[in-house]
Structure 1
């Protein structure tokens, strides 16, 4: 009779023997697989850290790439009741005494009051003209005041008129307001009736009321009169935009314009801090701990070596500004032997006070300015399809190959287990047969005459 239980014939623990033999080949190989997977994952994580720090570095660079952001002005008004102001880099250091005589106002006209704003007015058209431009709205005689207002406001050809319904003690009426202030933007309305006189009765000559006259803003800058169609005055002082809020010709507001040195220093320090953080991140993912004898994920990686080399070389390069070569060192940004930057405050202050254009040119000159060049370098690494994406794609392929190798090895171990079990079971059957033969022979020998058991 055939044996059905493994090891019955031989008395051996065949399952355990097979497991030990399989594990002797399987365990070391799986350890290699696990270590390889951990290495790949560590590299992917390190690339993520590098990409994040490069993006943060770009954020700091944005404040230096444009001269408007770097070469800023600080502006203050002695009394913000009447005006406020902003200045760009072209504004010169100065002080101005400003009086506001009048504010610019929008033109407003209104039709006749009626008791029910939902009542229809008439069919025909309303034509509007503002500052030489015009448009016309057709009416079919079914529209209420609200619907007429909507048609005017939604008209694709509207040249600057806003219609609204105002209800007062006297009734409801349509009010037309010019979108822009100033005397150039007065509204002209022509009502044309197709049948009846409804539109002319409400909006025609003698029936249209002026609620607010169109006015220009009038100010005096150090006694010089300035007239403006708008309360936002951009051209009176170079590089300065004035925003008028109230008028009183007897009140003087002193406007003071200065170079915003603190903003410049903040942006420069932000660049230095972001650069150092990036260098620190590069060192962390590529370092070697001699005491622990362990290497970081990207230690010795060519990508890291190339990036670090480009950053350090760029930080030491000179840029031509106004015919002269300028480097970070010339404005007080110094580098140590580890590649980290620091700011010499007194030297930076002197550079800001002496020639702000030099600092602006060093960082912000298109193409050659350091901020723009650093940004292009960072962009080449972090952009979609860039250096880091290409490396991560390689890691993805490595993980796919590792997965395929694991799968193939698992199949190989399953086949080895099956083969060993088959071989040991075959041996077990042979041993069982031999044991049976031995037992039978012993029984026959013991049964011979003269044999004492």
Structure 2
């Protein structure tokens, strides 16, 4: 029997083409990445809520700036009556009730009562003071609480006075050669007499003495003397406050004239703040579908309500008669995008002409109590940001938080509620990762055993073939 030669170019037994060198970790990562899609979507929603919270905060800031701009115009009006110059002995704030000329002379400045103690060698050593007993003052004829200063240093006594007596300020003054206790009335002037503004009823060895007597402010307006405890004097000239800065040698003539030239500047400041709010509202209510931020836009009926309230400011009737009854009567109009613009109506008098024609009515558009734009903007911002109190039947009151505050809290609650969903997915994905890793480890174990068997069988086959070939 002739022998035949059998050749073999590779292993006869193989485990389905699989090998233990497979990167199972990469496979698991890809599977988990695909399974993470729902959790990633929830996280994207959370991120959108966070962006919306920032937008709400930005809107609140712009509304507050709008309120400040409205208040600035409401304080003076569009065409206020102001002093024609500045003065060395006083400043003037406010808006005069009418144009005119006044004579002003500051006879005396208001001063606070001051007391000072003897000099002591130390501010911290009680023995340097050696005081024993009670310290007590009389303030405008009213007796203060008695302070026991026994065993106290000068600094301790000053602290005790500040903690106990609210009408004065106490401090320790270093003179370079010693220390003195200083006691000063917080308020200038006096309500009874200069002597009674600050007196010591009981002095336990401090040697307190008056170093400056209290003094009321005295100013002459058109020859009429006006006395006040403070250096801020209101109603001496209707509508304005005189802030005294120095005593006058001679009377000063003050002229009040109406300022219409700056009306446009004041109006433009108001319009800029208004338009900033409207621009942000437009961005949220009509987001550009081509931008990635579309999903970050705020969805809420309060935005439409705010937009309506903003637009209503233009046509709200403030004055019941005359040519200027609303803001739109000043040739201020809404544009297509909801922003304000001036002098767009060519068939109407310009803004400047309208203000010049009736400056008092123009002022009232902003300054009128309750119905002026200053008051209306204040109410609008309070509803949106600050919150307000609503009167209920039976004398009860209900606090309603601002719409933006409520929206912020809602968004925060939404983020918190989604945390639970994300935590669930994290646990589930970790469990799935563990299951897949266990399955691949089991597969690798089986493959390892199959490869061992394959190696053995191939070795046995090769041995048999070799033996038969050698016969």
Q: TM-score, normalised by structure 2?
A: 0.65
Alignment pair present for 1:57 and 2:62:
yes
Ranges in structure 1 where 5+ consecutive residues have no aligned partner:
1-6
The 1:409/1:159 distance shift into structure 2, 3 A limit, reads: closer
Which residue does the alignment assign to 1:3?
none
* Structure 2 residue aligned with 1:256: 256
Q: Deviations over 1:71-110 (max 9, x none)?
A: 45574474532222222x5744444221233444556789
Instruction: Work out which of the residue numbers 266, 276, 298 in structure 1 matches 2:295.
Output: 298
Contact 1:75 1:257 (C-alpha < 8 Å) held by counterparts: yes
CA offsets per residue over residues 369-420 of structure 1, 9 Å max, x none? Answer: 244224423553542xx21332233234335423432441343244234324
- From 18, 41, 44, the equivalent of 1:12 is 18
Aligned equivalent of 1:405: 425
Unaligned 5+ runs, structure 2: 1-12, 345-349, 387-401
Match of 2:142 in 1: 133
Structure holding more strand per residue: 1
> Given the alignment, which residue of 285, 306, 313 partners 2:308?
313
Cα distance change, pair 341–245 in 1 and its aligned pair in 2 (3 A): closer
1: distance between equivalents of 2:134 and 2:451?
Answer: 114
Contact 1:50 1:281 (C-alpha < 8 Å) held by counterparts: no
Count of matched residue pairs:
418
Indicate if the aligned counterparts of 1:74 and 1:257 stay in contact, CA closer than 8 A.
yes
Q: Does 1:186 align with 2:206?
A: no
User: Alignment partner of 2:234: what SS?
Assistant: strand
Task: Give the direction of change, closer, same or farther, for the CA distance of 1:434–1:378 in structure 2 (3 Å limit).
Answer: same
Task: Output one character per residue of 1:125-168: Cα deviation in whole Å (capped at 9) or x when no partner.
Answer: 78765544344857889899x6998599558458669899998x
Q: In 1, distance between residues paired with 2:24 and 2:173? A: 93
**TM alignment of 1:229-378, pairs within 5 A:** 229-256=229-256, 258=258, 261=263, 264-265=266-267, 267-279=269-281, 281-282=283-284, 286-289=287-290, 295-298=292-295, 303-304=298-299, 306-317=301-312, 318-322=315-319, 329-344=328-343, 346-347=350-351, 350=354, 353=359, 354-360=361-367, 361-365=371-375, 369-378=376-385
Tell me the residue number matched to 2:399.
none
Distance 2:382 2:224 in 1: 46
Residues 296, 307 of structure 1: alpha-carbon distance in 2 compared, 3 angstrom cutoff: farther
- Tell me if structure 2 keeps the 8 A contact 1:149–1:163: no
Distance, in Å, in 1 between the alignment partners of 2:133 and 2:26 is: 100
- SS of residue in 2 equivalent to 1:180: coil
**Cα displacement (A) at 1:288:** 0.9
Does the CA contact (< 8 Å) of 2:48 and 2:295 recur in 1? yes
Q: In 2 relative to 1, CA 413–149 (structure 1 residues): closer, same or farther, beyond 3 Å?
A: closer
Q: Report if the CA contact (8 A) 2:132-2:150 is conserved.
A: yes
Closer/same/farther in 2, CA of residues 430 and 219 from structure 1, 3 Å limit: closer
CA drift at 1:239: 2.7
Provide the C-alpha distance between the structure 2 equivalents of 1:85 and 1:267, rounded to a whole number of angstroms: 23
Q: 1:391 aligns with which of 411, 431, 446?
A: 411
* Distance in 2 (alpha carbons) for counterparts of 1:110 and 1:427: 99
Contact 1:332–1:343 (8 Å) recurs in 2: yes
